[in-house]
Amino acid sequence: MYAMLLHIDGGSIMSSLRKNEQKSISITIDGKECKGIFGQTILDIARENEIYIPTMCYLTKVLPIASCRMCVVDVEGVDGLILSCQEKAVDGAVITTQNAELYKERQNIMKLYNVNHPLECGVCDQSGECDLQNKTMEFGLEGQSFTAKEPSRPVQNWGHVSYDPALCIMCEKCVRVSTEITGDEALKVKFGGYSSTIENVKLDKNFATLGEAAAVCPVGALVDTNFKYSANAWELTKIPSSCPHCGGGHDVTYETRRGKIYRVSNEAEFTTMCSASRYGFDFANEGVTKDREAFKNAVEAFNSAKSIIFSNEISNEEALILQKLKELKGYKLVSYEARAYQKFMNAYSTISGKNLYGGNLKTLESSRAIIVVGSRVNDDAPLVKYSINKASKHHRARVCYMHPIEDGNISNIVTQFIKYDALSEEGVVALLVDTLLKDIEVPDNIRAVLDDLDIGNLSAETNIGEEELETLRKSLIKKVGYSLVVGADLYSHPRAENMAKMVALLEKYARFNIIVTPPAGNGMGISLICDLDDKADGATIGYNAKGDFTLSSMGGGDLDMPSLIQQEGTLTSIDKRVVPINVALAYGGYVLNDIANALGLSAEFTIDYTKALPLSKGFKDVEFDSLPNNFDISGNENRGYLLDEIEIENSISIEEPIEVEGIDGAVVYNCNPEEHFSPFTAKSKILSTEANLLGSQQFATASKLRDGDSVKFTIDDIKFTRVFKIDTSLKGTIALNPTYDMGLSTALLSSYRFNRLEKVGS
């Protein structure tokens, strides 16, 4: 019944598709001449030209599902109706999207959708934003023409999301996002004819996938239990903003009513939220009023302080205020993670010749081969993991994951796991660069260093076999589009700068798309805006960090500050985009700008600094109020602006890696669980979890700990008291130590992420 114009059959056609990728075509839709690119579907081109074709199962960010058939169109010269969501447009095609036959076809589909559907919209959470409700009206269905015997299908409780099979239209969007986006493949179709349902095969807590599934569900079948029956969609005020948690900076919309955030949504058609952005929204510093005495004390403290220590959870504008205060008063500015990142990127740019890395999430998701080194990426940067998953599912990308700890959460997409010893990262990067630049021309001094590498020694030191690297090298041959993701294990490493230079060689000479995952929060923005120092001295001001005088957005300090959902300003995202944040909840206290004004700076509002962000670092002279925050109908991002790339004078040289002794015995790795990034996500009621030290049985034996033991240890003078739990999914002698729950101390962690476990009692 449904005709096909072109079958895309596996990889054989991919090369010709790539050759034709940018070839423009022209088709006629409803009498309008529409331009497109070879490879685009009819629906893509129609949408770009603002021509409406109804859909029920289409979701832009996944491959066409083609289960609903609402998108049928008529193509001149082709017998039968065409599914416009999956059919590639052919140059010169003449297409009709609306006529009596198509209307009838779509109306019949809607009648089938409504067989036994309760249409109890008055008590359904989706009401007001339900595709089924809207299209039932659009196609003039006033009654249910067909009925069928209704099987018993009780509502299923999946924790923070519930599933009502009676409302489910089996569009499969939820299944596709769990497979193609978040990647844990938790949701499956349980086939059974009219009784088909969706099955959740991972009933343990699963915030990212279930939240995402509920967001894309077009009807009320999947709903957040925390939101259920709490408010009607049309009563909520929508405040567009950007996520402040992981450094991804993607779009979020706070949905509020009477001073409360009810839920957080996004442009789910195009973008994806991780669990923290969807559920970590209740971190406002509430009930604060202007405390004049505390403000006076703050100004005095700034007048006698020598250093300001701060966390990454501040805006670009606040970072600029701190920088200007440094210029005025000579403070040392200390933000440990951002400083490590800054040093890494400064070294990187001496080779690449640019102040920013070249890759972004889009280049990552279109890659055919990806290497990750120095990041537990599923936990450190969920958005990066989603892009890698997309590349794996959409392009069958090869994914090589290099890390001291295997991660079962990504084993379904990893094609090669290369395990190395903690602290040996410089040797790992040297081996990797040597392998990948083997047949590529590089300057003589670089070739000399690579030729001088003692590969046998490095193999022994890192524990990476030469055959593993050879397998990696061979697997990349004939691939087009490489990406390398490097993370905090590299930039927190004592030899970070030499590694940065080696990594940059791959961007410069091997055309890798590189992403250096920024620290959570606004670490990238801070690293670009502030001249950071390595260490504090003298009396300190802490901002969201413990200091002699503490400004805190979390409460518990000497003067309250607004959190990032109570401020206007901007953040800098992993995609090198300056994105706006807006006030979701009001704040009644003093802000950093008030202190700065009292100390001699002059700006009416914090956002007066938006247009003063440093042009020399790629920021633009743009007023905050002119920053857009939306997507067009085709999903093109129109949010804030992209940083300009600044050319840096390069001097191409690297050093030989130095020999290191491994870390013996039981080791702890500072790593937060996937849902958490900072003390701000720690405040989330929905995400609330116990922060335990998680290790394998082998770790338990090496550290003489039993499941449930309490253990005390110190890292960077910060005292941790943890309950130890055996995690059977972990192997080896490295345990995961969360840091997000350490409040104002979290920002004081400054060292390499792996540390020997030095117990100080139990």
Using CB under 6 A, list all residues that contact ligand FES.
55-58, 66-71, 83, 85
Of 235, 309, 248, residue with least CA distance to 280: 248
Angle between helix axes 100-113 and 131-138 (nearest 10 degrees) is 140
Q: How far is the CB of 14 from ligand FES (least distance, A)?
A: 23
Q: Which two tokens stand for residue 633?
A: 């109908």
Q: How far is the CB of 565 from ligand SF4 (least distance, A)?
A: 28
Hey, what's the torsion of the CAs at 263, 269, 270, 276, to 10 degrees? 20
Q: How far is the CB of 11 from ligand FES (least distance, A)?
A: 24
Q: Which of 61, 88, 173, 250 binds ligand SF4 (CB under 6 A)?
A: 173
Q: Residue 130 binds which one of ligand SF4, ligand FES, none, with CB within 5 to 8 A depending on kind?
A: ligand SF4
Residue 314 contacts ligand SF4 per CB under 6 A: no
Q: Which two tokens stand for residue 661?
A: 């002794």
Interatomic CA distance for residues 341 and 339, integer angstroms: 5
Q: Residue 593 binds which one of ligand FES, ligand SF4, none, with CB within 5 to 8 A depending on kind?
A: none
Kindly tell me which of 233 and 294 has the beta carbon lying closer to ligand SF4.
233
Kindly tell me which of 44 and 674 has the beta carbon lying closer to ligand FES.
44
- On whether the CB atoms of residues 175 and 188 are closer than 8 A, the answer is yes
Kindly tell me which of 196 and 471 has the beta carbon lying closer to ligand SF4.
196
Q: Name which of residues 111 to 170 contact ligand SF4 (CB under 6 A).
A: 117-121, 124, 126-127, 130, 132-133, 167-170
Q: Residue 121 binds which one of ligand FES, ligand SF4, none, with CB within 5 to 8 A depending on kind?
A: ligand SF4
CB-neighbour burial class of residue 141 (10 A; exposed 0-12, middle 13-18, buried 19+): middle
Q: What one-letter code names the amino acid at 188?
A: K
Q: How far is the CB of 185 from ligand FES (least distance, A)?
A: 22
Kindly tell me which of 197 and 737 has the beta carbon lying closer to ligand SF4.
197
Kindly tell me which of 70 and 400 has the beta carbon lying closer to ligand FES.
70
Q: How far is the CB of 267 from ligand FES (least distance, A)?
A: 18
Kindly tell me which of 176 and 326 has the beta carbon lying closer to ligand SF4.
176
Q: How far is the CB of 64 from ligand SF4 (least distance, A)?
A: 15
Q: How far is the CB of 190 from ligand SF4 (least distance, A)?
A: 11
Q: Residue 666 binds which one of ligand FES, ligand SF4, none, with CB within 5 to 8 A depending on kind?
A: none
Kindly tell me which of 136 and 335 has the beta carbon lying closer to ligand FES.
136
Q: Residue 268 binds which one of ligand SF4, ligand FES, none, with CB within 5 to 8 A depending on kind?
A: none
Residue 174 contacts ligand SF4 per CB under 6 A: yes
Kindly tell me which of 69 and 385 has the beta carbon lying closer to ligand FES.
69
Distances (CA, A) of 622 to 425, 539, 707: 40, 36, 55
Distances (CA, A) of 169 to 177, 193, 225, 601: 16, 12, 20, 59
Q: Name the one residue in this structure whose structure tokens are 């400064």.
A: 346
Q: Applying CB under 6 A, which part among 24-32, 218-226, 328-336, 434-442 lies near ligand SF4? A: 218-226
Q: How far is the CB of 118 from ligand SF4 (least distance, A)?
A: 6
Q: Residue 484 binds which one of ligand SF4, ligand FES, none, with CB within 5 to 8 A depending on kind?
A: none
Kindly tell me which of 88 and 753 has the beta carbon lying closer to ligand FES.
88
Half-sphere exposure (Cβ direction) of 544: Cα atoms closer than 13 Å: 28
Angle between helix axes 455-462 and 425-436 (nearest 10 degrees) is 130
Of 121, 125, 118, residue with least CA distance to 235: 125
Q: Residue 66 binds which one of ligand SF4, ligand FES, none, with CB within 5 to 8 A depending on kind?
A: ligand FES
Q: Residue 198 binds which one of ligand SF4, ligand FES, none, with CB within 5 to 8 A depending on kind?
A: ligand SF4
Q: Which of 186, 208, 219, 264 binds ligand SF4 (CB under 6 A)?
A: 219
Hey, what's the torsion of the CAs at 370, 372, 377, 381, to 10 degrees? -70
Q: Residue 58 binds which one of ligand SF4, ligand FES, none, with CB within 5 to 8 A depending on kind?
A: ligand FES
Distances (CA, A) of 316 to 268, 344, 386, 572, 613: 26, 20, 26, 7, 8
Kindly tell me which of 109 and 520 has the beta carbon lying closer to ligand SF4.
109
Q: Name which of residues 181 to 200 contact ligand SF4 (CB under 6 A).
A: 198
Q: How far is the CB of 635 from ligand SF4 (least distance, A)?
A: 19
Q: Residue 172 binds which one of ligand FES, ligand SF4, none, with CB within 5 to 8 A depending on kind?
A: ligand SF4
Size of the site for ligand SF4 (CB under 6 A): 25
252-270 burial: b if 16+ Cβ within 10 Å, else e: bbbbbeeeebbbbbbbbeb
| 3 state SS of 265 | strand
Instruction: Please spell the DSSP secondary structure of 130-182, one letter per residue.
Output: -HHHHHHHHTT--S-----PPPP---EE-SSEEE-TTT-----HHHHIIIIIS
Q: Name the one residue in this structure whose structure tokens are 């060689």.
A: 505
Q: Who contacts 666 (Cβ-Cβ below 8 Å, separation ≥6)?
A: 695, 699, 702, 703, 733, 735, 756, 757
Kindly tell me which of 120 and 623 has the beta carbon lying closer to ligand SF4.
120
Q: Applying CB under 6 A, which part among 12-20, 215-223, 231-239, 363-371 lies near ligand SF4? A: 215-223
Kindly tell me which of 195 and 762 has the beta carbon lying closer to ligand SF4.
195
Q: Name the one residue in this structure whose structure tokens are 């949504």.
A: 265
Q: Who contacts 702 (Cβ-Cβ below 8 Å, separation ≥6)?
A: 665, 666, 733
Q: Which helix (H) or strand (E) covers residue 198, if one does?
A: strand 197-200
Interatomic CA distance for residues 275 and 181, integer angstroms: 13
User: 18 — alpha (psi -120 to 50), left (phi > 0) or beta?
Assistant: alpha
Q: Name which of residues 424 to 483 contact ligand SF4 (CB under 6 A).
A: none
Q: How far is the CB of 675 from ligand SF4 (least distance, A)?
A: 22
Q: How far is the CB of 66 from ligand FES (least distance, A)?
A: 4
Q: How far is the CB of 25 from ligand SF4 (least distance, A)?
A: 32
Interatomic CA distance for residues 361 and 524, integer angstroms: 15
Kindly tell me which of 46 and 68 has the beta carbon lying closer to ligand FES.
68
- On whether the CB atoms of residues 64 and 85 are closer than 8 A, the answer is yes
Q: Name the one residue in this structure whose structure tokens are 């082709």.
A: 78
Kindly tell me which of 57 and 694 has the beta carbon lying closer to ligand SF4.
57
Parallel, antiparallel or unpaired: strands 24-29 and 32-37: antiparallel
Q: Which two tokens stand for residue 749?
A: 């962690």
Q: Name the one residue in this structure whose structure tokens are 């914090």.
A: 606
- On whether the CB atoms of residues 329 and 302 are closer than 8 A, the answer is yes
- Which residue has its beta carbon closest to ligand SF4? 124
Q: Residue 69 binds which one of ligand SF4, ligand FES, none, with CB within 5 to 8 A depending on kind?
A: ligand FES
Q: Applying CB under 6 A, which part among 219-227, 320-328, 663-671, 672-680 lies near ligand SF4? A: 219-227
End-to-end CA distance of the chain: give it in Å, rounded.
Answer: 71
Q: Is the dihedral of CA 42, 43, 47, 53 positive or negative?
A: positive
333-360 burial: b if 16+ Cβ within 10 Å, else e: bbbbbbbbbbbbbebbbbbbbbbbbbbb
Q: Residue 126 binds which one of ligand FES, ligand SF4, none, with CB within 5 to 8 A depending on kind?
A: ligand SF4
Q: How far is the CB of 371 from ligand SF4 (least distance, A)?
A: 34
- On whether the CB atoms of residues 564 and 315 are closer than 8 A, the answer is yes
Kindly tell me which of 40 and 360 has the beta carbon lying closer to ligand FES.
40
Q: Residue 169 binds which one of ligand FES, ligand SF4, none, with CB within 5 to 8 A depending on kind?
A: ligand SF4
Residue 172 contacts ligand SF4 per CB under 6 A: yes
Kindly tell me which of 132 and 660 has the beta carbon lying closer to ligand FES.
132
Binding residues for ligand SF4, rule: CB under 6 A, are: 117-121, 124, 126-127, 130, 132-133, 167-174, 198, 217, 219-222
